[in-house]
Structure 1
Amino acid sequence: MKAAATHQEILDIRRERGSSVLLFLTDRCPVGCAHCSVDSRPDSPRITDFDLLESLVDRLAAMPELAMVGISGGEPFVERRGLTLAVRRLAAAGKQVVIYTSGFWAASPRAPEWIDRLLPLTTAIYLSTDAHHVDGQGPERFVNAARVVAGHSVPIVVQCVDEGDSLAATRASLTEALGPDWPRRAELIPTHGLPHGRGAALYAWQQRTPGRDFGPCDVVDATVVRYDGRVTACCNESVIMGAGPAALRRDATDGAQVEAAVRGFHDDDFLRALGAVGPGVLTGLPQYRDLADREFSSICGLCWTMTKRRSGGGDAAQHDALLAALAGLTD
């Protein structure tokens, strides 16, 4: 598979079911943004079982269908030992490695040597910044981080919550960091705040939508593997942290169980159908027909309702053949 170099190319790989996973490397983050969707804090849990981490990383590295592994948290750069292990082994196995960071590690124009050694092994770096990040660490670290990453000729994707003058301020910081031709070296992707974690105090879903009107889910095609062995069907932050239906999570104790969980989620007909045609189409099935007119604040609410109903067995469990047919419509 061609190496990803742009945000869209990375999304295309993520949308190719089973081609990528996200490695959630730590819960810890030193920045403390008010809008954090996973409630990461300086004292949040971090890696304690490095034997488990090594086992699950080696399993991911050995899975031939995986073309790309994203690494996030929390802030993955607080885990020097874990991040170094993961990046080196995944890159050595030919995986494209994408890291998501706030750039907090760039306190000075020169990065620590261990980071300079890791960056050339990556496919792209996602830098997050907005008013909340600036409040937590100032704009200088973002500027330093952008310069360091660009110095290694690694593609940069900047994610910025679009509120107030954050986008304008980020463009100014990119110009300071990379010059007026910064769009040749970095992409700026506007995002929105999520009502998860601490973000629940700042954001709310803006409207309710009938179940039949939801299209395909764009995050269910790549599973998430947490540093402690938890595997989730998608990157919904609440699911990763233990909320929502238990059927969307599996807890593994070694790499073999992690691999089985990843493949189990990738092969699940219900999840495949959510990504292929979306839950709105599934409301046409008998067991979900009453959800067509019910309104939900987000696609996740509809998914959770369907998942809980399906997990209960009975009539819902008898329609896997229909789900498989729907899931295969875009194959």
Structure 2
Amino acid sequence: MTGPGAERLTHAGINRIRQTRGATALLFITDRCPVGCGHCSVDSRPDSPRITDFALFEQIVDQLCADPARTMIGVSGGEPFVERRGLGLAARRITDAGKDLVVYTSGVWGKAADPPRWIHQVLERCRCVYLSTDAYHEAGAGPEQFTNAARAVAGHGLPVIVQVVDQGDALDRAEELLVRAFGAAWPDFAELVPTQGLPHGRGAAVFERTARVPGRTLGACELVVSPVVRYDGRVTACCNESVLMGGGPAALRRQCGSGAEVGAAVEEFQQNPLYRAMGSVGGGVLTRHPRFTDLADRHFSDVCGLCWTMTRRVVPEQDDPLLSAIDLLGRGVQV
């Protein structure tokens, strides 16, 4: 919710907040999406699962709202705006708790120049909206829907952060759409952010990471600082889509049946020394740990592969003083 004197959020500013451990969380509100993008990293479909246990969902939202350190909550999916009841509830409770709300959407709801009142009510509570467009999105949500959605967001005085998979002429096309929406002064309303296609979900058949580098060269993971909580109680240590959908090490996920269990799982991940160190000093430095030295020269396509390998070697029930010390040193704490 944008108030008088509130600083206008930017992509860089949001990233700075996300990189502060404990300051943010992502609420994955639905698996469902009607757009059907061929590159969808979570394989969302029009008939994918959605909220069925609203009692549990309310507990999850209330748990996130009760954490005083968490100042910003992102809401994504799937397409959040297919969950009218869930999104409306989350938007009200998150902002009534004094937290900033950031929503990630395809803009598929922009079929009319003036969207339904309930959509305006959600936008009124946002601090920023991420709006995606590229060749894959346009196949299911055309240019008119994008421009209508962009204007509706900007009409509430919100920054529109447009995420575009940087492939072919996608950035030029996105700029054309922003000019159509706002004219030559579009940078006053929107920010264009190029992204990489993710090799997860349906995207695994579209994007392939062929370059592999030694583990010792990999840096910190920005994603392991902020947990993801799904509408059905699944909590993940990071926002890797494959982990959220059941891939990778099981230790990166917890299935919770109450808000209290969600809170405990989030805290457990936030205090895990491996993930804390992965988010501070990074995977390359961790290969100096005796348990991981053989990974220094093993090649990985990204830090996720290294993290998964390390995760499988750590026994949660056993203390690792050296790993804890590396975490503390990475945060500048005297040990």
Structure 1 and Structure 2 fold alike (TM over 0.5):
yes
For 1:136, the equivalent position in structure 2 comes to 140
Aligned residue identity for 2:112: S
Please state if 1:321 is matched with 2:324: yes
- Write the distance in 1 (CA, Å) between the matches of 2:323 and 2:196: 35
Segments of 5+ residues of structure 1 without an aligned counterpart are none
* Counterparts in 2 of 1:291 and 1:147: CA distance versus 1, 3 Å: same
1:63 to 1:144, Cα distance in 2 relative to 1, 3 A: same
Structure 2 residue runs of 5 or longer lacking an equivalent are 1-5
Which has the larger share of helix?
1
2:79 paired with 1:66: no
Of all paired residues, the percent bearing the same amino acid is 56
CA distance in 1, matches of 2:81, 2:246: 24
Conserved in 1, the CA contact under 8 Å of 2:217 and 2:284?
yes
Pairing 1:14–2:11 present: no
Matches within 5 A, 1:245-260: 245-260=249-264
Tell me the CA shift for residue 266 of structure 1: 1.2
Match status 1:284 vs 2:288: yes
- 1:196, 1:237 within 8 Å by CA — same for their partners in 2? yes
Matches within 5 A, 1:147-186: 147-186=151-190
The structure 1 segments of at least 4 consecutive aligned residues displaced by more than 6 Å after TM superposition are none
Match of 2:238 in 1: 234
Question: What's the counterpart of residue 41 of structure 1?
Answer: 45
Equivalent position of 1:121 in the other structure: 125
Q: Is the 8 A contact 2:107 2:141 kept in 1?
A: no
Of 310, 315, 318, the residue aligned with 2:314 is 310
8 Å CA contact retained: 1:3, 1:123: no
Per-residue deviation at 1:59?
1.1
For residue 3 of structure 1, report the CA deviation from its aligned partner. 5.4
Query: Structure 1 residues 321, 192: closer, same or farther in 2, change over 3 A?
Result: closer
Any idea what SS the aligned residue of 1:97 has? strand
2-side partners of 1:253 and 1:3: how far apart?
Answer: 37
What's the RMSD between the two structures over aligned residues? 1.5
Residue in structure 1 matched with residue 215 of structure 2 by the alignment: 211
TM (normalized to structure 2)? 0.95
**What is the rounded CA distance, in whole Å, between the counterparts of 2:69 and 2:317 in structure 1?**
31
**Residue identity opposite 1:231 in structure 2:** V
